[in-house]
Amino acid sequence: MKAAVYYETGSPDVFRYEDVADPEPAAGDILVAVEAVSIEGGDTLNRLGGDLDRVPHIVGYQCAGTVIAAGADVTRFAVGDRAVTVGLDGSHAERRAVPEPFAWKIPDGVQTDQAACVPVPFGTADDCLFEFGRLRAGETALIHAGAGGVGIAAIQLAKRAGARVLATASSNDKLTRLKELGLDEGINYATHDFVTEARRLTDGRGVDVVVDSVGGATLQGSLAALAYRGRCVTVGDASRVRVETVDVSGLRPSNQTLAGYFMGAELLVAPRVHALIAGHLDAIARGELRVVIDRSYPLADAAAAHAYIESRQSFGRVLLVP
């Protein structure tokens, strides 16, 4: 099969488009002919400096396609079913083998490219808001990187739950487009201090929940934007600038909470997450939630696709098509 691979981490130009061996599915695996790859933020971070457990390395969390083989222990899938899959790597290829618990059937009414964009962003957004953030109707949520995959999912889910939704983005145009998805108030972080704006928009009170996929210095600001008993969930390092320490001394006086989140760990230990994501796919089929796709690139152009994401111009998901 063809795959976008690299032999060392670094900038997008480390990608090579090469022939590699097809994956061999185990007894509990399905083998999928990949039709759409959703490039996740973690994919770009892993390409930049993640672990290389083998070379050539095939990066990628999430992709969707058609089942072409099923192991002897597989019970929920048959050859010909459409499936969306997640894993620690391996999405940037023409074929992918994954354990059955890390795959979902794609409902009728959901296009395969749409489904490719669902599990990681929507599962992450849901858990950050509700399982770890404990967001309730009438509260205010601040979503960082609102035009990204997790951001777009979180805005919709928070609004559907009856919350007031604030979000940050790098341009007024992106913030305007997010209004269609449920955004109440947007903050252009390129021109305004988001902590000051979050306080202003809440009459000085602060926000109840922050979903922070940016990390770095932004995380410290997220804590400063919290209301009394506010909850901040850190879920990524999109800023690519790590900080050595985060000052949490202000949390205790205001009974605030900082939590970390990684969906992969929850999938391993919490069966509820599989059902949660299946519910998101069904909601998309019913038209209750939306997937936003910015553009698609051929798999051979993985370097260009990653570079486009890192330019921070994208609005929604960027796909690779084998």
Q: How do residues 264-289 score in pLDDT, each as one tens digit?
A: 999 988 889 999 999 999 999 999 99
Counting every residue written for the chain, the total comes to 322
Identify which of 34, 91, 101, 106 has the alpha carbon closest to the alpha carbon of residue 65: 34
User: What does the alpha-carbon distance between residue 181 and residue 155 come to, in Å, rounded to a whole number?
Assistant: 7
- 125 with 108, same domain: the answer is no
- Decide if 270 is inside a domain: no
Q: What is the largest CA-CA distance in the chain?
A: 60
Predicted pLDDT at 124: 97
- Decide if 273 is inside a domain: no
Range of the domain at 313: 2-117+291-321
Instruction: Render pLDDT for 203-243 as a digit per residue (tens, 0 to 9).
Output: 999 999 999 999 988 999 999 999 999 999 999 887 666 66
Predicted pLDDT at 240: 64
Q: Do 62 and 11 touch, CB atoms closer than 8 A?
A: no
- Decide if 70 is inside a domain: yes
Domain count, the chain: 2
Residues in the chain where the model's pLDDT stays below 70: 239-244
- 140 with 187, same domain: the answer is yes
Predicted pLDDT at 237: 81
- 304 with 239, same domain: the answer is no
Predicted pLDDT at 270: 81
